[in-house]
Structure 1
């Protein structure tokens, strides 16, 4: 009988000990989740020019109610082997709403670093393809572009009841525009701004500026001496630009100024004198003498374009089309500025 009592007592003691160990183990394996407030604020080129102004040309005037800002927030664990990032939240805003820091606050989970990628497209409502009130790339919410992003002026968590939604194409240079001629071009004629904060350790309540840099350059072409026909100018992966002949071969004919979106949206912006973010782009010029005839290639060159600069490109010896080696190009460039009337000192009212 005593042995039976001892066995029962031993079993109860063992069960109690195991239960205590399990509860203690669970207590240490599942610490409570804590949060911090991530405060974001827009900053950068859309407010001012961060480089000294030269003889310059002003980009398009931004209509804040038509300009769209997309912000994608992803998270990476601070600890653990081979940590991988995953979508956390996203937001699509009108610029006038995004400029209010109160609208750019979001609670984030402690124990992670965060990557904030932000794209802004000037006057996007006039240029970006829309369906049923939602925006196409780069503001769509699925990799294949089927789900269009709605501008709600607030952050939404990526993991939703009907699946994960995220701004997967926010760093894709291709944009779905209303213009069929440049739809999905890698360098569309779009004024795009982009900013990035990488590996951010969030401090509760601290303000984190997102510096939005112009990720585009300006270009215009001109020719003197073309007797007949039309020139088609092709910047690699951009829509074609056309120049017609003039009735007077001594007149100079110019294209309109085109703002060309760059492909490199996330590279760091170099600082210092003569340091620029550049892209080397193949430029091909074709001549068609008469409608219906085949084009003839007259120029095939690679030009270095600078972010935030206007490039004026003159096609030289154009009257010698057909003579090998004579047709060429000359390039002038100047930095974009916010107020071109203030660039030249002799334009002031006090100049004598």
Structure 2
């Protein structure tokens, strides 16, 4: 806001960026829980670039451009109303929003539109940074080497449990903040203990090749989960990169109706096996895999074996067939399955 004096922020559907008031204001995942009048006037919500559940799906010829055009329309409408865009903010891959991986090229086009009107592009790497995606250290790099955000925010992983956060930006943007005359002060900012912890975490990531581990184990986990999609009608979509994976549970693979009750039942049953997963996304039907970076092949195999057994148990409890994903009988019985698990929860 200091950079060009603009006020408005564009965020994504189902986005979550933090729990202080200023961040709840730009987090639909949170402020929608407060009621229909909770969205502030300076906040504009763009469609989540979800090619499985969104308005432009995997069969669209260019979903990246289509979703970016929606952001452009928001900018144009905002300007017509005499308002100015300060920033566009997005997690490099949406986590609470349902493990959504933006189509390649989306960020580049959005950044072009936002920068053209004096705004900045903020990449939130709090959940997906520090090598979690495997092939890159930062998830925004999945968009291509020609894309660089104006601001990157990061947190949790930088301290591996120790409370730390960090903001990286350009000198020009940083100096515009200082030039405003508003001095930034933080009692614990840059303290030597936290800095030592942050450096130790980076050292372990490098020495133990945790980024490479994320690629190897993540690919193996994706393979195992893909087998479950072929085996179980409940599994609608498998998506992810490295150790950031989502399993979209559905009542019907054709209609993609969210299997919310089934997902919640599954995560509760997994706890009985000492496996902690969460069900996230706007419908709470996405199994969210974001394990520690030291997660192993054996861990991955164990988790999927338990999930396989529980899915089989759930299907058998309702008489569902698992031999044929396309079975009309199985899809019909899925409706019975949903009602059954709602009663359990």
Q: Scaled by the length of structure 2, what TM-score is found? A: 0.25
Larger Rg: 1
Is the strand fraction higher in 1 or 2?
1
Is the helix fraction higher in 1 or 2?
2
Q: Scaled by the length of structure 1, what TM-score is found? A: 0.24
